[in-house]
Structure 1
Amino acid sequence: MSLAEDGLLIVAIDGPSGTGKSSVSKAVATALGIGYLDTGAMYRALTWWCVDRGIDLHDRSAVAREAQTFPLAMGTDPAAPTVQVGDRDIAAAIRTPSVSAAVSDVATNLGVREQLIRRQRELMARVAAETGGVVAEGRDITTVVAPDATVRILMTASEEARIARRAGELASTAAATRAQVVDRDRRDSAVASFMTAADGVVTVDTSHLDFDGSVKAVLAVVDEGRGRD
């Protein structure tokens, strides 16, 4: 399935933890008047679902089977994105420390990745058709999920900046924050490429940018990419 269609704006944003890609992506989608998709939330939702159902996350085949059919619904309004499984709102539950600590076991499962990448591409195509475009952020979006996107961006930041930002969000110890940021990135990078820009992907370094500056930098790249397109 190709996401590249005339008139549709597909913005793919990759990057490691703590670069600001989630908050910036939502602001960019709002500014552009298009939909938003947090693909990382889909892995978190599956993690929550499996734990809730008592499925061993190390049973890779069982978890991959759940990825095919679990009743996930993603709300793609950037002003109020939602995550539901069945009739349960789990947007807060998937951000708990227990899910954060376990999600890499799911995200590095190749069977899971195959199923969720399929779902991501289908959802991106639907949202883009409904709103004129979509900003999708996560890991390997620019290289695997949407290599044909109109604009592909890798958001980066220094390790120090990333840890400082995430520590502020989590109000946790330095060791716990490092585990959330650096250690998880190291595990996930075994199956997803999100640390260096592939050919045709524009790098936006947010190390020394505040939120508004980061949004402006990404919008400038989008404007340039739309002009080329």
Structure 2
Amino acid sequence: MSPIPADVVIAIDGPSGSGKSSTSRGVASRLGLRYLDTGAMFRAMTWWMLEHGVDVHDQAAVAEHAGKGDIVSGNDPLAPTIVVDGTDVAEAIRSEAVTGSVSPVSVVPAVRTRLLELQRAVIGAGGIVVEGRDIGSVVAPDAQVKVYLTADPAARAARRAAEEGGSDVAATEQSLLARDRIDSSRATAPLLMADGAHHIDTTAYTLEEVIDQVVALAEAVEAVQ
């Protein structure tokens, strides 16, 4: 394996269920890089709003409280953590309540501005794999490696349902497609493939094959420097 730049930033974007998390953690682990799940940060913010009785459908109320809550993301790809005000919320942010509320919270510009600052602070001098929906386009537009993962909706739904312990696949697919519409149409930082991103449809590949492809892209960065 060719050495990669110490300051490399690998941005992995795509819709829910496309394989972002597993791929990002796998790439970071294999290359010895840090890892950041920006989606967990939005969920953490949503959890804080719900815990403090904020109406997540009231954008003004969400914006008013967007600066509150101390959110700390652990960067070990083998054991990522997310802590809010000193409380480990790694499991809590995956609850149905948070999942059903994260979309209205994430579209509020004040929330995105606050978390963008936190995300860039974590990225710092690089040496990290960052996953989300607007990493290559907004959070780290200068990332040396940009990847946009997609997958067939049915495959995405099956993966997500399995992650959630056997949820109804058809219902999960409809939920994912609804989230896609929200993410793609929001005014601030919509879900899209960033300029210069490499598109990988993960439907026909195993996880290891997708990781191999992203690692190859990272190695190619060093090859042309």
TM-score with structure 2 length normalisation?
Answer: 0.91
Q: CA separation in 1, counterparts of 2:217 and 2:133?
A: 19
**SS in structure 1 opposite 2:204?**
coil
Aligned positions of 1:5-24 closer than 5 A:
7-24=6-23
1:157 and 1:206 in contact (8 A); partners too: yes
Q: Deviations over 1:18-37 (max 9, x none)?
A: 11110110111111111100
1:7: Cα distance to partner? 4.1
**Aligned match for 1:158, one of 152, 157, 171:** 152
Q: Deviations over 1:174-199 (max 9, x none)?
A: 3431243211121122224334x232
Residues 69 and 228 (structure 1 numbering): CA distance in 2 closer, same or farther, change over 3 Å?
Answer: farther
Letter matched to residue 199 of structure 1: D
Tell me if 1:178 matches 2:173.
Answer: yes
Tell me if 1:143 matches 2:137.
Answer: yes
Structure 2: gaps of 5 or more residues? none
Aligned positions of 1:191-210 closer than 5 A:
191=186, 192-195=189-192, 197-210=193-206
TM-score with structure 1 length normalisation?
Answer: 0.89
Structure 1 or 2: larger helix share?
1
Letter matched to residue 42 of structure 1: M
CA RMSD in angstroms, aligned pairs only: 1.6
Structure 1: gaps of 5 or more residues? 1-5
Q: CA separation in 2, counterparts of 1:114 and 1:31?
A: 31
1:187 corresponding residue in structure 2: 182
Q: CA separation in 1, counterparts of 2:71 and 2:154?
A: 35
1:101 and 1:180 in contact (8 A); partners too: no
User: Paired residues, what number?
Assistant: 218
Q: CA separation in 2, counterparts of 1:226 and 1:183?
A: 39
Q: Deviations over 1:141-177 (max 9, x none)?
A: 1101110011111011111221121122221113431
Identity over aligned pairs, percent: 44
Q: CA separation in 2, counterparts of 1:78 and 1:123?
A: 14
1:42 and 1:116 in contact (8 A); partners too: yes
Letter matched to residue 107 of structure 2: T
Q: Deviations over 1:63-101 (max 9, x none)?
A: 223332311111111111101111210000001111111
Aligned positions of 1:1-229 closer than 5 A:
7-125=6-124, 128=126, 133-170=127-164, 171-191=166-186, 192-195=189-192, 197-229=193-225
Q: CA separation in 1, counterparts of 2:96 and 2:191?
A: 22
